[in-house]
Structure 1
Amino acid sequence: MYNKYIKHAKISEGKFRELIKYFSLDLDGLQIAELSGLNRNTVGRYLNLLRQRIAAHCEGELPPRKNIDTLNDDENLIEFDDHFVANEGIIFGLFRGNSKIHTEMVDESYSLKFRDIVRGKTPWEAMDYSINYWYEFDGLVELGKNKYFRLNQTKKGVNGYTTHINSIKSFWSFAQMRLLKFRGVAKHTFYLHLKECEFRFNNRSENLYGKIMDLVKREPL
């Protein structure tokens, strides 16, 4: 079946646009299947492809990484695999750049150090570690823990867990409600949901349906 939005399509363009409409309203796969009349597995497959496209778009908006000697991209980048694992202990960083909120999974070799800091077990100043990472994070979050850990970049220290009103905090409040539903999922699935939160937040004033359609028009699924 020809469909300019999907390679090797099994559904019509009209049904795909309907799926995008419901997805842009943040309905889940079961709701979309019921409303569209599409098979639930078919909906799940296309939602996964959509999230991959959205994640790639968000990655393309990331500022350039810093060149540092302490990390080797090939050896230390976190690997997202298909093993079913609990999300306990997964750390991701938040920062603002180019007027957008960005998220980045913390490299595994650093996440062990960050974890004790986020949990309040180790004071930041006691770490034999300086803020020397690909990005200068404004905050850290451990999935499964209801805490946002704010970093004070000026003093390279901690500003505690106090509530503060800024775009980073607003994003975390927005993302928290969505991410807490996805405990115990494959790492690569969590990453896609995190990037979907980033995309939705950064485009919350935009027409999401039109934005998503533009993405798949430029590069079909």
Structure 2
Amino acid sequence: MKNKFLKGAHLSERKFKEILKLFSEDLTATQIANISGVSRVTINSYLKKIRMQIVRYCESLQPESTANAASWVSRGYDHGHHDHDTAVAVKTDVDRIVRPVIFGIYKLEQKVFTEILPDVSRSMIQAIARGRSVLETVGNAERIRRFNGVVDLGQYRLYHIGNGHHDADAGKAMLDDVDGFWGLTKHRLAKFKGLNRNTAYLHLKECEFRYNYRNEDLYATLINLLKTFPLNLS
């Protein structure tokens, strides 16, 4: 069936655009399935591919190296292990034996960017947030300090690292964006009541995309993205 947005699709282009419209309105997979009349399994498959394309687009704009983030996606999707990985809670009662998902947030040229930090521990970000020097011996201090905020998803907590600006107004605007992004992300992730470790990055980048284009027509933005970079079911 011909569909310029989705190669190899078994759905019409009209039906796919309906699904994309519902996705842009931030409905859940269950809600989209119920409204569109398409099976939940098919919706989940399409949403995963849409999110993967959003990840690639966001990474193409990101000025810093995303080697850690890219490997995170590869482990979860390119090798097919995501169905059986440990779930990561996003509430404060997270099990202590589960390594929390920690990610950094920074703003550059009016956009907010995020990066998963798999080798950064909870104790490290707590130490640097308190101004302690213990991170100097670990070797991660400079890398962490380039972020304006770091989030411990297990504790559902944002740590402000610094605004990196001598200009008070610019620093305030930066922190406002960090807080605004975390507010959006916290609200969106709460509805999942827990995330697979490998889907966390997909949802994080989706939040990044939604925040950076919050003042635009998200559906039109997604249509333009998928016209340029169509999905492929194979």
TM-score by length of 1: 0.81
Q: Residues 39 and 86 of structure 1: is their aligned pair in 2 closer, same or farther, counting only changes over 3 Å?
A: closer
Compute the displacement of 1:218 (Å): 0.6
In structure 2, what is the Cα distance between the partners aligned to 1:146 and 1:193? 15
In structure 2, what is the Cα distance between the partners aligned to 1:122 and 1:203? 29
Q: Which runs of 5+ in 1 are unaligned?
A: 67-72, 156-163
1:125 counterpart (120, 125, 132): 132
Q: Residues 118 and 152 of structure 1: is their aligned pair in 2 closer, same or farther, counting only changes over 3 Å?
A: same
Q: Which residue of 2 aligns with 1:94?
A: 105
Q: Is the 8 A contact 1:140 1:150 kept in 2?
A: yes
Q: Which residue of 2 aligns with 1:47?
A: 47
Q: Residues 119 and 86 of structure 1: is their aligned pair in 2 closer, same or farther, counting only changes over 3 Å?
A: farther
AA aligned to 2:115 is E
Q: Is the 8 A contact 1:92 1:105 kept in 2?
A: yes
Deviations 1:4-26 (A, max 9, x none): 11111110000001001111111
Compute the displacement of 1:184 (Å): 4.0
Q: Is the 8 A contact 2:105 2:150 kept in 1?
A: yes
Deviations 1:123-176 (A, max 9, x none): 442314263228810010011313210012659xxxxxxxx9611111111111
Q: Is the 8 A contact 2:148 2:175 kept in 1?
A: no
Q: Is the 8 A contact 2:104 2:144 kept in 1?
A: no
Compute the displacement of 1:197 (Å): 0.5
Q: Which runs of 5+ in 2 are unaligned?
A: 77-81, 89-93, 95-99, 166-173
Q: Which residue of 2 aligns with 1:15?
A: 15
Q: Which residue of 1 aligns with 2:214?
A: 204
In structure 2, what is the Cα distance between the partners aligned to 1:121 and 1:63? 24
Secondary structure, counterpart of 1:64 in structure 2: coil
AA aligned to 2:159 is F
- Structure having the higher helix fraction is 2
Q: Is the 8 A contact 2:105 2:149 kept in 1?
A: yes
- Count of paired positions: 202
Overall identity of the aligned pairs, in %: 35
TM-score by length of 2: 0.77
